[in-house]
Chain A
Amino acid sequence: MEKVNEIKEKWKLLPAFLQSRGLVKQHLDSFNHFIECEIKNIVKANEEIRCEADPNWYLKYIDINVGKPEIEEGFNVTRATTPHECRLRDVTYCAPITVDIEHKRGNDRVIKTGLVIGRMPIMLRSHNCVLHNKTFAQLIRLKECPHDPGGYFVVNGSEKVILIHEQLSRNRILIEEGPVCQVTSTTAERKSRTNLMINKKKQIMMKHNSFSDDGIPIFVVFKAMGFESDSEIVELICGTLCETDEIDPNLLIPSIEACHRAEVWTNEQALRFMASKLKAKNSAPGNKPFFQEQRRKSSDEIVRELLSTTIVAHVPVVAFNFRQKTIYLAQMVKRLILAISNPDYIDDRDYYGNKRLELAGSLIGLLFEDLLKRFNSELRLIADKNIPKIKAAQFDITKHMRQDLITNGLINAIATGNWTLKRFKMERIGVSQVLSRLSYISALGMMTRINSQFEKTRKTSGPRSLQCSQWGLVCPCDTPEGESCGLIKNLALMTHITTDVNQDLIIRVCLNLGGVQDINLCESGAKINRNYLVYVNGLIIGITFDPVKLVTALRKIRRGGFISEFVSVSVNRLHKSVYIATDGGRLCRPYIIINPDGQPRITSKHIEALNRGLICFEDFIRKGLIEYLDVNEASDSHIAIKEEVINPGITTHLEIEPFTLLGVCAGIIPFPHNNQSPRNTYQCAMGKQAMGTIGLNQRERIDTLLYLLAYPQRPVVKTKTIELIHFDEMPAGQNAIVAVMSYSGFDIEDASIMNKASIDRGYGRCFVYRNQKCVLRRYPTLGGASDRIMGPLVQSEPPHLPIAKHAALDIDGIAAPGERIQNRQVLVNKQTPVSSTAMETTPLPGKAPSYSVNYKDVPITYKGIEETTVEKVMITSNSEESFLIKLLLRQMRRPEVGDKFSSRHGQKGVIGLIVPQEDFPFNNVGICPDMIMNPHGFPSRMTVGKLKELVAGKSAIIKGTLHDGTAFGGTTIDEITEIMCENGYNYHGKEMMTSGITGEPLTGYIFFGPIYYQKLKHMVLDKVHGRSRGPRAVLTRQPTEGRARDGGLRLGEMERDCLIGHGVSMLLLERLMLSSDAFNVEVCTGCGFLGYQKWCSYCESSRSLASVQVPYAYKLLIQELQAMCIQTKLKLTSL
């Protein structure tokens, strides 16, 4: 056997891959596919509108297009825009949807082109976006971060991502535990679910929503479809009438009996039987036309209609020729009875080959189709209403096309994330989310997030656990902890999600290829069951005698580029079928193809050509060197991880790089393969909270909250992923010199000790940006008066300085950039008009009433303990054409005790103590650590990767380079120790250190070196809270709740129990009443009711009133009970 040479620098394929693909290609592809193909198909499906009023009138869509994004400035004036402008101005980045129509105006057929029917929010970096195909410099000119991946929308100024949704594959036979055979069919018109199950009498029953719950014997269904001969049916299912190793037809006997007992032998009898099982439908108002039609038909016809359109809906039935559907149903039965004896036939719902991911394109597609249908029906109503009227002008439908239905429908759905489609009874919330801009990583992480439809509250572990088929496709580390653990996942680095490819071409290729016989030409069930079935997207198209030959041929065609590279072909020997998939939403991933002789098709020569820029990643696919495999095909392949393990003749593919099995967030971690697994998961969650750089355009942005690091550094120990995603250009953290030792006792429980000098020099220093918005509205009800901004109020004394509250205001009444703002100072001195009185009580006819307008101060004030600085003021207008003023406020913060830091190994901790440099230990060359970490953090966490990061980092800075810590590779310990020994450092990374306090050497050697530390967004300043006195709630007069309202600190029931346990009743009284809502209430000792101002209104006397101190809430309770006619009497006795 010839030894397989290692392909050097194979990983260079990755940057090429990412360059051609980007990190969010799945979103862009999906959206582009929608804009370029799907939208046209949708319009084609709904192209004609006719009305009842005039049978000759019609409207027909000829074409639909989506233009370039633009902004509406005033009435019908539009201007091209950029995403950044939309972000700043709180408008939507959307493009007009134009249609070409043909319609009747009077008796003329008119064609009109370029009619705007609505606006489509445009995904950033998609083909319609202005950012598409722009160079680095051009992007900068558009004030866009060149590394920003795009793939999201800008809706009303906020960035929204439509998350990837995971679903069960549609139109596939799925055998579940039971066994139950389930098929969820989806066509453009309807969705339906058909179940086959075995009841207690061992009869196979079909269940469907349209029929009663106990199901219909399967043989009745076959007979209703026109197959009356039992033996024919059995043959269709089993292939033979006698028992074989594979299948036992005797299992069908109870089902046949059930059919006979129901006295069904003929087609008519079957239809009648099924009609009797029809569920009585309550007529929903929306479905009226359908039911009117139905009422006219006989129930037999209804059943036949149902059988052809709704049951296993995706199998087409032309002119009531049920043959194809019968074969399909027979296969369902076959799989079901096979699963009785052999559990291998039970499918795994969590298997990724059975899953499809739904992306922005298809979700918007659903929404758009729904909106278009509503738009059309609205037009039809208008036509119905207007055509009978006789008017001077001819009825012109184009005058009635309102844009806002589609525009608002799309914008509202994306802005709120509520996808409500009445047609499919779909009601989903949280489909879109605000793009998290905490850090670059968090934004990227959000773009690769996969949301599962599974309920969060359920405790089952199946869908949450790691599935072996997700290897290389879904990151094994990146999932949140807690309730959504395992339900929210992230894509791995090289995963691609397919879009729909037209299946007709593939079917034609298959049938023309030879070896595949058209299913419609298969004369007997025996023949069908003897051979392999060929499924295309869940539809049986034929049978084949030599599946291997067929698959090889199809793969050759695919590698030659004659059919799409995303078509998957795989053999399932268990099911005796060949599955061909062209549908969208499959996960796939590129692999290097290996020739039968065991040599990879890619050689070092190719890599060299790639390095020199002569070829790109697409060329590798075009030349058939690399191909995409989806989960089903990968399960049918032999994939070698490394060149050494290639087994000639057996191995079919070679992994490009194993570290790509991790996602973006986990790719940041150095040496993750040395860590305990949950630590990597923790880091994946924490990397998203790390502050640093969020984009190269960060200073141009005015976000609600933005955390930036003053001096971000790229990590000394990097990974290949870091370079690939440009984390080194937009880092979030700093290389801290860490000494692993105990110090002072303030470092228990993961707290760390920080060097004051390091903080003075800028370590961990960060900026917190917030914005303040102010909109100046116009009030048509007040005679067109609008909000206004007044200049600052000045003191009456000579220098006439502004009053303290207005000290930061400029002449125009808006705080000036660079001003420092204290708590409660005014940022914008806004006034709003209040109830104005009309000047004349009876306005003259034809003249608008004139108003005198009073104004009320509604200043925008700053609230916060720490002072802040105005960085920027932006004055613009928003989509409602009112003034929009945005202020960007900045705070610089240096680390303080309690601020949270974390390394890249899920090791978070707070600062426990800040120590001056002279007290810090120092080593033999005079280096003081920036941070001291307690060694107790290591044994239980087992983060060996962190130890390796430290030594690798130390050797890197000694040598003056960066070291690599990529998963399953990276700098070896041998290299590291060699570098340290050569330079006189201990090979363990442990150093002799001197105590800064005593001046004596420390007894222990200290593990000492750089570790990349992230500052997390949780800072003490945002959390400190305590109060002695403060605001109270109006109703109960108890202290308010929460930090934002300067609330009191709650003495909860457990604390109360504790006080009761101690028997300190006076303390309890003081805490619960005196310090809260003590109130002196007057009680009439005569009647026991509450009095008021020394007067009891019940006794009508002031004789016997006593003052009692009770909680105000109690007094309130008494009064509320009184209001409900429940009397509460207080009986007072003297102590």
Chain B
Amino acid sequence: MSVDTRNEAFLHEYCVENAETTDFPGNYADFDDSWDLQSFKENVEENAIEFDMIGISPAIANAFRRILLAEVPTMAIEKVFIYNNTSILQDDFLAHRLGLIPINVDPRYFEYRQEGDEEGTPQDTIVFELKLKCTKNPNPEPDACTPESLYNNRNIYSKHLKWVPIGNQEEIFQGKPIKPVDDDILIAKLSPGQELDLKLHCVKGVGRDHIKFSPVATAFYRLLPKIQLLRTFENDEAEKLKKCFTKGVIKCENVDGKKIAKVVNPRKDTCGRNVFRHPEFKDSVKLSVVKDHFIFSIESTGALSPQTLFLEAVEIFAGKCRHFLGELEEINKDAK
């Protein structure tokens, strides 16, 4: 039984071979196939998706990418009111760091803040508080020597941001209190006696103004690679060819005691083009990318799921189209 049979069924002329599921625990020697929720969760990236977009112009695909980066709004810390900051970090520096913390809240519940408004309303502002003082741990462990164990509140993490609901926010976000996406973003390190007393205002904004409002860590696409072997590659040559590509792209199969190279997963290729390093391979491999097959990746910062982000982007795109059509119509009307 080759490893292929674990998760592949083979379509022959008259039958489907290996159609039944076989990857039960213990069935394959080198695989631990026992199902585990934890590991399943780990394998599924919560904040990232990859999907294919096929048959559209790069301009459209690019438009989605651009909108995701710059125009889908999120909430981010914009105003920092510093009542006290005796830490080593400068006020402006601290404010900049705080601004970059992604906040786990659906921006669609909020409106943009009016220009000139300093106070903010429950409809457009989320308020956080960060009020901590580092003190000496009165009874540390006898063998404690790290600053973390000797002092209280040595490290200030994003989890220390305390949400202060204003207006009816408590009701709206009942059961799902607003907090930063990640708890373990280090904001500052304090020494005993230093303290922070800050009030933070989050507002809605878009990535075009400042990257902290961008809902994605990155959004990008690549074109589907295609690899054609123009001759057969055997034994050592096959191994050498395999090394020219990203792992998993080329496989050396045993055919009649010879190793023969075969393209198994061109999608995995990162376009390293290392075949050109070897003059003997230069003309026997044809590399290409499919121009209208986009492998689109969205890595969300966590405020919204990547799926919703894409839908949001589509919505914004549609809005832009509608606006444009409207304008065209205006022009037509004027022309008539």
Residues of A within 8 A of B (CB): 699, 710, 756-757, 760-762, 765, 767, 818, 869, 871, 890, 892, 916-918, 922, 924-928, 980-987, 991-992, 994, 996-1001, 1005
**Pairwise interchain contact B211-A757, C-beta atoms closer than 8 A:** yes
Which residues of chain B come closer than 8 Å to A999, judged between CB atoms?
A: 58-59, 61-63, 65
Which residues of chain B come closer than 8 Å to A982, judged between CB atoms?
A: 243
For the complex formed, measure the closest distance between the CB of B187 and the CB atoms of chain A, giving whole angstroms: 14
CA distance A525 to B41 in the complex (A): 99
Encode contact with A along B264-293: 1 for CB under 8 Å, 0 otherwise. Answer: 000001111110010000000000010000
CA distance A927 to B219 in the complex (A): 10
Closest to A894 in B: B96
Report if B91 contacts A (CB, 8 A): yes
Closest to A981 in B: B274
Which residues of chain B come closer than 8 Å to A710, judged between CB atoms?
A: 93, 96
For the complex formed, measure the closest distance between the CB of A1128 and the CB atoms of chain B, giving whole angstroms: 60
For the complex formed, measure the closest distance between the CB of B264 and the CB atoms of chain A, giving whole angstroms: 15
For the complex formed, measure the closest distance between the CB of B185 and the CB atoms of chain A, giving whole angstroms: 13
Using known A-B contacts A924-B270, A981-B277, A984-B270, determine if residue A998 contacts B59 with beta carbons closer than 8 Å. yes
Report if B210 contacts A (CB, 8 A): yes
Closest to B213 in A: A760
Contact of A924 among B69, B85, B218, B222 (CB under 8 A): B222
For the complex formed, measure the closest distance between the CB of A710 and the CB atoms of chain B, giving whole angstroms: 6
CA distance A892 to B220 in the complex (A): 32
For the complex formed, measure the closest distance between the CB of A957 and the CB atoms of chain B, giving whole angstroms: 15
Stretch at the interface among B27-35, B157-165, B227-235, B244-252: B244-252
Which residues of chain B come closer than 8 Å to A892, judged between CB atoms?
A: 90, 92-93, 96
For the complex formed, measure the closest distance between the CB of A746 and the CB atoms of chain B, giving whole angstroms: 19
Which residues of chain B come closer than 8 Å to A762, judged between CB atoms?
A: 96, 100
**Pairwise interchain contact B221-A984, C-beta atoms closer than 8 A:** no
Which residues of chain A come closer than 8 Å to B65, judged between CB atoms?
A: 918, 996, 999
Which residues of chain A come closer than 8 Å to B223, judged between CB atoms?
A: 1001
Closest to A1005 in B: B273
**Pairwise interchain contact B273-A986, C-beta atoms closer than 8 A:** yes
CA distance A991 to B69 in the complex (A): 22
**Pairwise interchain contact A984-B210, C-beta atoms closer than 8 A:** no
**Pairwise interchain contact B274-A986, C-beta atoms closer than 8 A:** yes
**Pairwise interchain contact B208-A916, C-beta atoms closer than 8 A:** yes
Using known A-B contacts A761-B100, A924-B270, A994-B222, determine if residue A917 contacts B88 with beta carbons closer than 8 Å. no
**Pairwise interchain contact B96-A765, C-beta atoms closer than 8 A:** yes
- The 7 nearest A-B residue pairs measured at CB: A999-B62, A984-B246, A926-B220, A999-B58, A760-B211, A984-B270, A892-B92
Contact of B221 among A760, A918, A981, A994 (CB under 8 A): A994
Contact of B271 among A924, A926, A927 (CB under 8 A): A924
Closest to B212 in A: A760
Contact of B277 among A761, A869, A916, A987 (CB under 8 A): A987
Report if B82 contacts A (CB, 8 A): yes
Report if B152 contacts A (CB, 8 A): no
Report if B241 contacts A (CB, 8 A): no
**Pairwise interchain contact B70-A991, C-beta atoms closer than 8 A:** no
Chain B residues 91 to 130 lying within 8 A of chain A, measured CB to CB, are 91-93, 96, 100
For the complex formed, measure the closest distance between the CB of A760 and the CB atoms of chain B, giving whole angstroms: 4
Using known A-B contacts A767-B90, A1001-B223, determine if residue A756 contacts B211 with beta carbons closer than 8 Å. yes
CA distance A352 to B62 in the complex (A): 65
| B interface size (C-beta, 8 A) | 45
28 A-B residue pairs with Cβ-Cβ distance under 8 Å, sorted by A, are: A757-B211, A757-B214, A760-B210, A760-B211, A767-B90, A767-B93, A818-B82, A818-B85, A869-B91, A871-B90, A890-B90, A892-B93, A916-B70, A918-B65, A918-B69, A922-B220, A924-B222, A924-B270, A926-B218, A926-B220, A926-B299, A980-B272, A985-B272, A986-B272, A986-B273, A986-B274, A992-B289, A1000-B58
Given contacts A869-B92, A917-B70, A998-B62, 13 further A-B contacts (CB under 8 A): A761-B211, A762-B100, A818-B82, A892-B93, A916-B70, A917-B214, A918-B70, A926-B297, A981-B277, A985-B270, A986-B271, A994-B220, A1001-B289
**Pairwise interchain contact B272-A981, C-beta atoms closer than 8 A:** yes
Using known A-B contacts A760-B212, A762-B96, A871-B90, determine if residue A984 contacts B272 with beta carbons closer than 8 Å. yes
Which residues of chain A come closer than 8 Å to B79, judged between CB atoms?
A: none
For the complex formed, measure the closest distance between the CB of B257 and the CB atoms of chain A, giving whole angstroms: 28
**Pairwise interchain contact B66-A996, C-beta atoms closer than 8 A:** yes
Which residues of chain A come closer than 8 Å to B270, judged between CB atoms?
A: 924-925, 984-985
Which residues of chain A come closer than 8 Å to B214, judged between CB atoms?
A: 757, 917
**Pairwise interchain contact B211-A991, C-beta atoms closer than 8 A:** no
CA distance A999 to B68 in the complex (A): 14
For the complex formed, measure the closest distance between the CB of A548 and the CB atoms of chain B, giving whole angstroms: 58
For the complex formed, measure the closest distance between the CB of A643 and the CB atoms of chain B, giving whole angstroms: 34
Which residues of chain A come closer than 8 Å to B272, judged between CB atoms?
A: 980-981, 984-987
CA distance A926 to B66 in the complex (A): 13
CA distance A981 to B63 in the complex (A): 33
CA distance A984 to B210 in the complex (A): 33
Which residues of chain B come closer than 8 Å to A890, judged between CB atoms?
A: 90, 92
Closest to A990 in B: B273
For the complex formed, measure the closest distance between the CB of A103 and the CB atoms of chain B, giving whole angstroms: 55
**Pairwise interchain contact B271-A981, C-beta atoms closer than 8 A:** no
Chain B residues 186 to 235 lying within 8 A of chain A, measured CB to CB, are 207-208, 210-212, 214, 218-223
For the complex formed, measure the closest distance between the CB of B211 and the CB atoms of chain A, giving whole angstroms: 4
CA distance A1005 to B299 in the complex (A): 25
Which residues of chain A come closer than 8 Å to B59, judged between CB atoms?
A: 998-999
**Pairwise interchain contact B269-A818, C-beta atoms closer than 8 A:** no
**Pairwise interchain contact B244-A981, C-beta atoms closer than 8 A:** yes
Which residues of chain A come closer than 8 Å to B218, judged between CB atoms?
A: 922, 926-928
For the complex formed, measure the closest distance between the CB of A896 and the CB atoms of chain B, giving whole angstroms: 15
CA distance A918 to B58 in the complex (A): 14
CA distance A871 to B92 in the complex (A): 11
Closest to B69 in A: A918
Closest to B277 in A: A987
CA distance A999 to B289 in the complex (A): 14
Which residues of chain A come closer than 8 Å to B247, judged between CB atoms?
A: 984
Which residues of chain B come closer than 8 Å to A765, judged between CB atoms?
A: 96
CA distance A928 to B69 in the complex (A): 12
Closest to A871 in B: B90
CA distance A813 to B247 in the complex (A): 69
Which residues of chain B come closer than 8 Å to A996, judged between CB atoms?
A: 62, 65-66
CA distance A871 to B82 in the complex (A): 13
CA distance A922 to B65 in the complex (A): 11
For the complex formed, measure the closest distance between the CB of A588 and the CB atoms of chain B, giving whole angstroms: 43
**Pairwise interchain contact A984-B92, C-beta atoms closer than 8 A:** no
Contact of A992 among B271, B274, B299 (CB under 8 A): B271
CA distance A871 to B218 in the complex (A): 36
For the complex formed, measure the closest distance between the CB of B282 and the CB atoms of chain A, giving whole angstroms: 14
**Pairwise interchain contact A917-B211, C-beta atoms closer than 8 A:** yes
Closest to A756 in B: B211
Closest to B64 in A: A999
Closest to B67 in A: A918
CA distance A245 to B221 in the complex (A): 86
Which residues of chain A come closer than 8 Å to B70, judged between CB atoms?
A: 916-918
Closest to B246 in A: A984
**Pairwise interchain contact A699-B245, C-beta atoms closer than 8 A:** no
**Pairwise interchain contact A699-B88, C-beta atoms closer than 8 A:** yes
CA distance A999 to B58 in the complex (A): 5
Which residues of chain B come closer than 8 Å to A1000, judged between CB atoms?
A: 58
CA distance A699 to B191 in the complex (A): 15
Closest to A980 in B: B272
Which residues of chain A come closer than 8 Å to B244, judged between CB atoms?
A: 981
**Pairwise interchain contact B58-A998, C-beta atoms closer than 8 A:** yes
Closest to A926 in B: B220
CA distance A158 to B279 in the complex (A): 65
CA distance A981 to B275 in the complex (A): 10
CA distance A1107 to B277 in the complex (A): 86
**Pairwise interchain contact B91-A818, C-beta atoms closer than 8 A:** yes
Which residues of chain B come closer than 8 Å to A871, judged between CB atoms?
A: 90
**Pairwise interchain contact B269-A984, C-beta atoms closer than 8 A:** yes
CA distance A818 to B247 in the complex (A): 55
Closest to A925 in B: B270
Closest to B60 in A: A999
